[in-house]
Amino acid sequence: MSRNDLFDYMKSAAQKIQAEYDRIQKRALEDPGTAGDNGEENWANLLREWLPAHYHVVTKGRIMNTDGECGPQVDVLVLSPSYPQVLLDKKEYLEGGVVAAFECKLTLTAAHVRNAVRTAAHIRSLSRPERKGTPYKELHTRLRYGLLAHSHSWQGAASTPIQNIEKNLRETESKIVQNPKELLDFVCVSDLGAWHTRKMIFVGQQLLSQIKVRYEKEDIWNVIQRAGGVIEAAHVCSAAEYQSTDEAKATFTPVGSFLAALLESLSWEDESMRALAEYFIIAQLGGAGQGLPVMWPLSVLSDELAAKLVRGGSLVSGERWSEWSMIF
């Protein structure tokens, strides 16, 4: 069977990112600010090349909610096709027109991961108005948030960069994040791996029995049973080492995995992207991945939605793009 050309395109994109990293690093000590700006432009250009042309990709700006509150400056922002042309050069971007935002780093460190978690949670906490009524709406804001890096700082022979990133994600989120909708959606390190966040809902004894082994030895299991359900969220990492065949290992790119996950995520809000997103999914551009789930109580949902789910009959399985799906 012939290989889809998409993998070659992504390999080329990844090589371009790496070549830019090597070029920028030569002068990074002379002028770190300019080096950082160059890195941001690399990722902005990648998004311009792979997102539909009517989206606007801009650099350096703040996101302003309907109350006029602004979050901290963000490196790269993706604006909706409907964003007013007259406001494109205004650096306080209207939240209702921002579909994604990203922090960009040349060489990722633990501090960068921790700061990105804090910023993502803070910006989401400012989101207005709150969305209610379906599992999808209550577990996601309209805005997607991610962390992008050319490379990472854990280069020693005995280093475990994937585990280091995940450790910093989990530890910081456990202290900062108040709701799964505040979680970081994406992390992509071009020469290492890509993470995307999956959220799952288990309600009713039949579904809870499937995950009982994960919680029955903990005190929280009794709480889950009394509540009648649980929400799990996991940062799923896709990396070359997790692919099952030599060919899959050779063709996998974190950049391709990130773009596949981004298109899928944005397609929840923009139906016009769904056919392309499904193509990427079916072509398996995202690659295989793994991640440990973290439990969230049903109380993070509105009382009305939680009660409706516990009464049963609301969730669907295997139906992509349903706001009542068990998994997002």
pLDDT at 2: 64
Say what the pTM is: 0.94
Rounded to 5 degrees, what angle do the CA atoms 186, 191, 193 make? Answer: 40
Q: For the chain, which residues score pLDDT lower than 50? A: 1
36 lies in which domain range?
5-197+235-295
pLDDT for res 224: 83
- Split into its structural domains, the chain has a count of 1
Has residue 204 been placed in a domain? no
In a domain, 100, yes or no: yes
> 19 lies in a domain?
yes
For residue 76, tell me if it sits in a domain.
yes
Range 122-158 burial, b when 16+ CB lie within 10 A, else e: ebbbbbeeeeeebbbbbbbbbbbbbbbbbbbbbeeee
Within a domain: 104: yes
pLDDT tens readout for residues 150-194: 999 999 999 999 999 999 999 999 999 999 999 999 999 999 999
Domain-embedded: residue 122: yes
Look at residue 211 and tell me if it is in a domain. Answer: no
List the Cα angle 29/33/36 in 5-degree steps: 90
111-140: per-residue pLDDT in tens?
999 999 999 999 999 888 889 999 999 999
Residues in the chain: 328
Q: What is the dihedral of CA 176, 179, 182, 186, to 10 degrees?
A: 100
Does residue 312 lie in a domain region? Answer: no
Q: Is the dihedral of CA 201, 205, 208, 210 positive or negative?
A: negative
Does residue 92 contact residue 62 with C-beta atoms inside 8 Å? yes
Helix, strand, or coil (residue 150)? strand
DSSP 8-class letter at 95: G
